[in-house]
Structure 1
Amino acid sequence: MSLCGCKRVTPVRFIAKMRGGSQSTLIEASDGQQYVVKWQHNPQGSRVVLNEALGSALYKEIGLPTPQWAAIEIPDAFIDANPGMWFDTANGFVRPTAGLHFASLRMGTETQTVFEVLPSTWFTRIQNRNTFLGALVADVWSEHADSRQALFLRLSP
């Protein structure tokens, strides 16, 4: 554990760059888990990392499911060895800063399908509608909502 009361991990392998304005990355960490990493000083600003940590704490406090998160310590050598993680900006590629960053445990497994956008015809398939609506209300109340805030997992038949 670290000062934040969260797990602390280090990167082992860069997997992929994620979609979205913060240009987060998918990284395998020292605990064998995969994490979506939001960098401090990302293109959306430094507050994104704090917002993610506070949002996670809020969800847990009001009883909503949220992935576990960890503080990930990413060294200069790992960043230099993986230029695919660098931010793509209008002025070219920008190297992320080494240090502690927010890492949210990846949802689902390698074989599960994860949807970031759910077709409107599938809304009736959502099994935990009350949880989904509770999360939506919490996001709107905390001004933490944008056009893509939810992930949906397809359950095995």
Structure 2
Amino acid sequence: MSQEPLFFDDLAVGDRFETGTHELSADDIKRFAGEFDPQPFHLDDEAARETIFGGLAASGWHTAAITMRLLVTGGPKLANGIVGAGGGIEWKTPARPGDILHVDSEVIELIPSRSRPDRGIVVMRSTTFNQRGEVVQVLTPKLMLARRAA
């Protein structure tokens, strides 16, 4: 990751960024679920075995939160931070206890603002993988990013 902040004008379609990793534990999964998504397949190993997940699975929102943390701490250093302006999220396979997650991001579109010349929208595809290379989540945010002063 570059130490210098990146502005809209510094990016090009196809630019790629990779984060560090985060290991997920059963305790982490249960703690997050207990506060934010208290469903049996996130809270109880035995109950989870009887669901479509077939075992304890992290909440998709937990995966999204880990993805955000990885992007903020090890993704592209954007000039004004990671400021969302919409987007989409897909959960492909559940994150499980012991999974080691990392995120690969690619710039897929750059949209200069017509009404605010000091900024633009960067569309990224941020794919969260586990240690087996399985896609856990695909996040496609639209990020508002400052342009360099003219």
Task: Give the TM-score category using the shorter length.
Answer: under 0.3
Pick the structure with greater CA Rg. 2
Q: Which has the higher contact order (CA 8 A, sep 6+)?
A: 2
